[in-house]
Amino acid sequence: MLDVENQNIFSSNILQKTFNLLQKCWENKQSILVHCESGISRSVTIIIAFLMKKNNWSYLNSFNFLKEKHSIANPNNSFIKQLELFEKIGFITDPINLKNQKYLEILLLLMDIYLN
């Protein structure tokens, strides 16, 4: 996952794969290190998305919770918009659901047009 404005966090099943791993570690009471180059945007985005889905929290609640623990947390603007969209669509990460996937693709296209 790249820390660039046009990175789609829903592509390549990124969220579902990381959620599965994080959930497995959570259930087994295991620790896991989620990291990126600086620990500011990409890894933070993954953790925020996990908190949102696991706890049914809003983007803002999840961000504020993480920011208290990790003060340098600062997802890029595109990741923030995608996390807000993730909240609006009910934390859907399953790409097999074609109806939801098509809806998501349309929303991401509109978001891409808006950002560019």
Contact 58, 49 (CB under 8 A): no
Structure tokens at 113: 């047009």
Q: Is residue 36 annotated as part of the catalytic site, yes or no? A: yes
Q: How far is CA 82 from the centre of its chain?
A: 7
Nearest to 13 by CA among 92, 113, 110: 92
Structure tokens at 33: 């290190």
Q: Please name the residue that has the structure tokens 């890029």.
A: 76
Task: From the candidates 7, 13, 36, 39, give the one annotated as an active-site residue.
Answer: 36
Q: Known catalytic residues?
A: 36
